[in-house]
Amino acid sequence: MRTTVAVVNGPGEEFVLEEVEVDGPRPDEVLVRIVATGLCHTDLSLRDTLPAEMFPRVFGHEGAGVVEEVGVEVTGVSVGDHVVLSLASCRECARCRDGRAGYCEQTLMLNYMGFRMDGSTSYSREAGPVYGHFFGQSSFAQHAVVLASSVIVVDPSLDLTRIAPYGCGFMAGSGSVLNVAQPQPDDSVVVYGVGAVGLAAVAAARASGVETVVAVDLQPSRLEAAEKLGAIGVDPAGLGETTVVDKVKELTGGGATYGIETTAVPSVLKEAAQSLGVQGTLVVLGLDMSRPEFPVDAIDLLQNGKILRGSVEGDSDPREMVPRMLRLNAEGKFPVDDLVTTYPFTEISAAIADVVAGRVVKPVLVW
């Protein structure tokens, strides 16, 4: 069948709407008519850094839509189901069986390479195959052939344009708090970079009953959003002679119990680690492929017993975490709906410009 996708033809090039062929689902796949897809920094980062031989490519990994066809081996998903899409996993390796889907032994092949395990692609055009299967879905498309492990069935009464980001951005942020840090009310949580991921972390910390939640960012609009969620906003540019480290230690009574780092800026990550209290933990979520290393204050780290810990998607199993976030949202404890700004797919370039400039928090593209 024919469908429309937002394709990138080479590293760093623009997203272009184009009609392509999409084949039907294999036995372990599902065909989804995409209603909405969140735009994530990872889509832009990998567009700019993947090698030329991995293009043309369809990105998009925060899809939500309606199931149109189900492979013969798929269970628990039916035609007409409303679904949120997330990362793909084999569901069979020891890590998957242990609930650590983000660390699946087949993560690289299933989420990043652009083709199925047998080397085939679901999208093609006259000039040849188009790489897809990004996070098991490549949902910058009107129709996506999705690996069954990426599919989470949701209540059909929910607004798919609001919950599409639950498949990645909101899950990574909330999971870093709820699954990794697991703070107690008298702990302190400091979030560095309060875009969509960071604000989800703020919301999750407040949902956990944490009284002292601090948000560090340079964007006044994002600090305002964090403050609405119950955080204390800190703008490094407005501190004068005071350093971020000193300000955080002042607000947290000597240093944060937990830090959540989303910016991938090496200098910020170093400050975030220095801002921890004794035996504090920094959960690192941000990654800039062009700057894959960051400095550490080794003396501070060792003398104070601090922990620096990476996390994929907040150590979440999407099948458990997406419903959990939806329950918290329904209870009024995870109020992230207002962070979403919708755009028609035809305005994908405007959505990119707006989120890069900090004018919006979470753009969601809608067909």
Domains of the chain, by residue range, sit at 2-167+336-366, 170-312
CATH superfamily for domain 2-167+336-366: Medium-chain alcohol dehydrogenases, catalytic domain (3.90.180.10)
Question: How confident is the model at residue 335, as a pLDDT?
Answer: 97
The three-state secondary structure class of 65 is strand
Comparing C-alpha atoms, which of 24, 11, 22, 19 is closest to residue 57? 11
CATH superfamily for domain 170-312: NAD(P)-binding Rossmann-like Domain (3.40.50.720)
Round to whole Å and give the CA distance between 177 and 56: 36
Phi/psi region, residue 307 (left: phi>0; alpha: psi -120 to 50; beta: rest), is beta
Where is 124: in which H helix or E strand? strand 123-125
What residues of the chain score a pLDDT lower than 50?
Answer: none
Taking the alpha carbons at both ends of the chain, their separation in whole angstroms is: 18
Residue 227 makes CB contacts below 8 A (sequence gap 6+) with 215, 233
Comparing C-alpha atoms, which of 88, 78, 39 is closest to residue 62? 39
Question: How confident is the model at residue 35, as a pLDDT?
Answer: 98
Query: Same CATH fold, 170-312 and 2-167+336-366?
Result: no
Tokens encoding 55:
């293009």
Question: How confident is the model at residue 290, as a pLDDT?
Answer: 81
Q: Half-sphere exposure of 132 toward its Cβ, with a 13 Å CA cutoff?
A: 27
The three-state secondary structure class of 40 is coil
**Backbone φ and ψ of 238, nearest 5°:** -105, 15
Residue 236, preceding bond cis, omega within 30 degrees? no
